[in-house]
Amino acid sequence: MQNPSTRRQFLATASAGAALAFTATSYAKIVGANERIAIGLIGCGGRGYAAHMPGVHAHDKAENVEFTAVSDPWQPRRERASARCQEWYGRPARQFVSYRDILGLDDVDAVMIASCDHHHAAHLTAAAEAKKDAYCEKPLAMDMPSLNRCVDAVKQSGIVAQMGTQVRSYSTSTGCRELFRSGAIGKISRIEQCRNGSKPYWYSWMQRAEPIREEDVDWKEFLMDRPMRPFDGKLLTGWYGYREFTDGPLANLACHFIDLYNYVVGTTLPLSCVAQGGTFTWKDEYNFTCPDHCQAVWIYPEGFMVSYTTNFGNSNGNVLKLYGDQGTIDMTNWRAPTYSRAGAIKPTELPKDETPVDPVETPDHFLNWLQCLRTRKVCNAPIEAGIHHCVPALMAARAMDTGRRQVFDAEKREIREG
């Protein structure tokens, strides 16, 4: 078992490194209120086009920012994003196949990374090396070496980086954090999420209505460091379902859960993890390799267990709860959490009936990043939050694949069997 003092030293060192980078670099990049901030979008698929672009557009006039460049290996996606910029700003965004071209532009100040999971670490590392501020989707990486390189690059560069775990920026999430910090539910013993559905989410992302033309895709740019193989359009839009490009629900869905309880409870890195998973319901001609059922359990040094489960064979039974010895916080509905004395084993002053958690005003996640681009303050989900959501997810994926308990060695920054 990892020594708690060693873990604290690791976290203290990480925080100190971030502070030094901020002092050395970030202050020099403070932008005046009248200066426009130019943003490049890396990845123009569903997340980039449907979340990042409108998320920023809601604040672009007030914050004086504009998308000026877009990149994507698939031509129709980058054309669509560029055309939206024409509608919004009266001029189209410049289009590129590769993220490298955007990072090479002197007149782009920051980038939003909404690419595939197997791209995230490389894209953010390159952005940091290019001294471009960045907003990066989760999960941060798919292996520990890539994660470590990425984290080191961000800290050394002093860029403003926001991880794309936006649920922590809900006012209700901050309300739950303040309620927990008050000691209202006492000592945590277990945190649990069951996030179920009738069908895996990757089916909804796969484009099947019309064929994808090979000549419209830079296939090598999409594959990046994955082995070359003949062009396959179903991988381009259905990559969410294939383990070569993502770790499935343990990375995409569980990362939000992990980041949320880290934010509310204040924990960081687990001691150990066990996990299992498989495809039991959705077996068809697509041969998806991401599990449609999975479960992971982590143990944290503060003395509690965390359980995450996904069942894509039955949508019943969704739950997200924090169990304490004096009561329970129910966050199953992230937008309307409640608390009560349910399950208390110690004297408590909490109400018997489910009571709404009072929200605490918190800036929208995209707005927080945009504001930090000017103030150079640390974002609500900084690079440390990326470490703390990514390591548990990687532990779970490895535990599921090997069938063996995984532990995290914070001193060596590696995951091993134990």
Q: How many CB atoms are closer than 10 A to CB 31?
A: 17
Q: Distance (Å, rounded) from C-alpha 183 to C-alpha 176?
A: 11
In this structure, are residues 396 and 308 in contact, taking their beta carbons and an 8 Å threshold?
yes
User: 364: which 2 tokens?
Assistant: 């929208």
Give the orientation angle of helix 383-402 with respect to helix 4-24, to 10 degrees: 140
Q: What is the pLDDT of residues 64-85, one digit of tens each?
A: 999 999 999 999 999 999 999 9
The pTM score is 0.91
Bond before 230 cis per omega within 30 degrees: no
Residue with tokens 């409640």: 338
Residue with tokens 């930090």: 372
Q: Distance (Å, rounded) from C-alpha 30 to C-alpha 115?
A: 27
Q: What is the pLDDT of residues 172-190, one digit of tens each?
A: 999 999 999 999 999 999 9
Q: Residue 70: in which H helix or E strand, if any? A: strand 65-71
Task: Report the share of the chain in percent with pLDDT over 90.
Answer: 90
User: Where does residue 186 fall: left (phi above 0), alpha (psi -120 to 50 degrees), or beta otherwise?
Assistant: left
In this structure, are residues 11 and 268 in contact, taking their beta carbons and an 8 Å threshold?
yes
pLDDT of residue 207: 79
Q: How many CB atoms are closer than 10 A to CB 119?
A: 23
Q: Distance (Å, rounded) from C-alpha 408 to C-alpha 398?
A: 12
Looking at residues 347-358, what average pLDDT do you find? 97
Q: What is the pLDDT of residues 316-351, one digit of tens each?
A: 999 999 999 999 999 999 999 999 999 999 999 999
Q: Hey, which residues does 317 pair with through a beta bridge?
A: none
Looking at residues 18-44, what average pLDDT do you find? 69
Q: Which of 52, 61, 67 is nearest to 110 (CA)?
A: 67
pLDDT of residue 8: 35
DSSP letter at 357 equals P
Examine the pLDDT at 15 and tell me if it is beyond 60.
Answer: no
> What is the 3 state secondary structure string of 86-103?
HHHHCCCCEEECCHHHHH
pLDDT of residue 29: 63
Q: What is the pLDDT of residues 130-170, one digit of tens each?
A: 999 999 999 999 999 999 999 999 999 999 999 999 999 99
Residue ranges of domains in the chain, CATH in brackets? 4-168+365-382 (3.40.50.720), 169-359 (3.30.360.10)
Looking at residues 252-262, what average pLDDT do you find? 97
